[in-house]
Amino acid sequence: MAGALSYLAAVALAAAAAETPAVVIQAADTPVKLDRATVVTATATPPVLVYSATNATDDDVDEFTVIAFVFDAQGTLKARQTAPARRSLQAHATKFSTLVLDGSPVSPGDRIVVGVNQAQKVRSDLWWRAELQDAALAAVHQPKR
């Protein structure tokens, strides 16, 4: 009986969820590229960013981080939130992951911009890094098509 109630609760939550595409930005030389990102919002829960990340190199990546920017409807930056490091992404492989956007409230008119801001190859002490805030601002302030 408990299993049936859990299933019904999950179905009700999924039915109440709304999906909104996030804007994906990338540094030109990023070793890990986000292919797509979607914000899933359900009633009485923080939004969840669901994304796929692909290793664009011939080397395995040990860790990478994803950063999300939350802009209000006027394009003002409200928050930036970095996901905990994601681990082990083999060369040319794709991994799906999530980031709970609980750093600040997200309103229905807000826009989410996301990208990879750090990566480290396996057996390396060096980190690839990119500052993405200017690219995020530019993406939000582009004229709508």
Q: Is residue 4 part of a domain?
A: no
Q: Is residue 98 part of a domain?
A: yes
- Domain with residue 21: its CATH number is 2.60.40
Tally the domains of the chain: 1
Q: Is residue 59 part of a domain?
A: yes
* H-run or E-run covering 6: helix 2-16
- Domain region containing 79: 17-140
Q: Is residue 116 part of a domain?
A: yes
Residue-by-residue pLDDT tens, the chain, 145 positions: 555 555 545 555 555 678 999 999 999 999 999 999 999 998 888 999 999 999 999 999 999 999 999 999 999 999 999 998 999 999 999 999 999 999 888 998 999 999 999 999 999 999 999 999 999 999 998 766 5
Q: Is residue 74 part of a domain?
A: yes
Rounded Cα–Cα distance for residues 71 and 135 (Å): 13
Q: Is residue 5 part of a domain?
A: no
Q: Is residue 2 part of a domain?
A: no
Residue 95 burial (CB < 10 Å; 0-12/13-18/19+)? middle
